[in-house]
Amino acid sequence: MSKQASPEVCFRTSIGGQALIEGILMRGPEKQAIAVRRPDGGIELKEEALTLIKERYPVLGLPFVRGSVTFLDSMVRGVKALMFSAQFYPEDGEETAEPSKFERWLEKKLGSEAVEQFVIYVAAALGVAFSVGLFILLPALLFGLLQDVIPSFFVRNLIEGGVRIALFLLYLALVSQQSDMKRVFSYHGAEHKTIYCYEMGLPLTVENVRTQPRHHPRCGTSFLFVVMVIAILIFSVVRVRNVLLQLLLKLLLLPVVVGITFEINRYMGAHDNLLSRMCTAPGLWMQNFTTNEPDDSMIECAIAAMERVIPERAGQDAW
C-alpha cells in the first residue's frame, strides 16, 4: 500500500466530495451535485444550490467557530446524499416492506417531507454519537478508571490518545475489508483523482483522471486524524479526578478541538512546505485504507458531479 507522490497542482480548490453508494457527491462554493450510477448503467444527477447558515448568521463563519458548523453541515448533507444514492440499490425485500406503525404515525403527524428530514437529522446525530462514543468517550472512560493504576496525568492522557488513534486505525482496517465498502472506497479514489485533475488544469476526461493519485492532502480522513492529535493536547487541560466530570468536560471541549483542527487544515491545505507535508503525511498514509483505485465508470460519475459544481467565475473556488 504505497503512497503515490502528490503532483504539482496549478491551484488548490475548495471543492470537496464524498463517496456514496455507487456514486459521488461533489460540493463547490455555490452548489453541490450528486452523480449515481443507476442499475441500468445510466448516471442519475441531482444538483442543489448551497445556502450556508453563516450567510444568515455571520458569527458562525468566524475562525474557530466555523469548524464545528461546517462539520455538522457536511454530516447532514452527506447523510442526505447517501439516502438519495441508496434508493437506487434497495436491500432484498426493502421495496415491498410495509412501513412500521411508528413510520405511519410520523408521516401522518409531520408529512412525508418532514419525516425524511427527521430521519436525516437522526442518522447524522447517530453517526456523530457513534464516533464520539467509540473514539473519544470510550478511551476516556477506560483511562479515567485507571487513575490509581496510572497516577501520572500526563502519561495517562498520552496513552489514552494513542489508544484512540489505534482504535481509529483498527476501525478503518476492518471497514476497508468489507466488500461493499471496497466499492465505496473506490468511488472515494475517483473523487480524489478527479479533484487532482481539475487542480492540475487538465481537461476532465477519463484518461486524464485515471493517471492522477488517489491520495489527497485535504481529505476528510486526514481531518479526523488531526482531530485526534489535537484532542490529546486540548484534553490535557482536564485535570479532575471525577470520571463523569472528565467525560462531560471532554464533550464540552470537542467543538474547540474541531474548530482548531479546521483552521489547521485550512492553513496546511493552502501551503506546501516541510511543515505542511509532515502534518499531512499520516492522513495520506491512512487513505490507503479509505481509497481504492476506481474503474472508468466510477471516474465518469466523479467527472459528471465535478463539472456541475465548478463555478463560472475562475478562481471563486480557490482554497
Question: What are the tens digits of pLDDT across the range 220-248?
Answer: 888 888 899 999 999 998 888 899 999 99
Q: Rounded distance, CA 140 to CA 250, Å?
A: 8
Q: For position 148, what pLDDT does the model report?
A: 84
Cell matching residue 83: 439516502
If pLDDT is split at 50, 70 and 90, which confidence band does 1 have?
very low
Residue 308 class from Cβ within 10 Å (0-12 exposed, 13-18 middle, 19+ buried)?
middle
Task: Please report whether residue 2 resides in a domain.
Answer: no
Mean pLDDT, residues 91-100: 57
User: Do residues 150 and 143 touch, judged by C-beta distance below 8 A?
Assistant: yes
Smallest Cα–Cα separation from 221: which of 296, 153, 286, 318?
286
Task: Please report whether residue 157 resides in a domain.
Answer: yes
Task: Please report whether residue 63 resides in a domain.
Answer: yes
Task: Please report whether residue 312 resides in a domain.
Answer: no
Residue range(s) defining the domain that contains residue 143: 16-90+98-307
Cell matching residue 117: 428530514
Q: How many residues does the chain have?
A: 319
Q: Which residue has the cell 459521488?
A: 24
DSSP secondary structure letter of residue 59: G
Q: For position 4, what pLDDT does the model report?
A: 54
Q: For position 52, what pLDDT does the model report?
A: 79
Task: Please report whether residue 317 resides in a domain.
Answer: no
* Axis crossing angle, helix 101-110 with helix 112-132, rounded to the nearest 10: 120
Task: Please report whether residue 9 resides in a domain.
Answer: no
Q: For position 23, what pLDDT does the model report?
A: 97
Query: pLDDT (tens digit, 9 = 90+) per residue, 40-79?
Result: 999 999 999 998 787 788 888 899 999 999 999 999 999 9
The answer to pTM > 0.85 is yes
- HSE-CB of 241 using CA atoms within 13 angstroms: 5
Task: Please report whether residue 248 resides in a domain.
Answer: yes
24 phi, psi to nearest 5 deg: -140, 140
Query: pLDDT (tens digit, 9 = 90+) per residue, 170-188?
Result: 999 999 999 889 999 999 9
Q: How many domains does the chain have?
A: 1
Task: Please report whether residue 177 resides in a domain.
Answer: yes
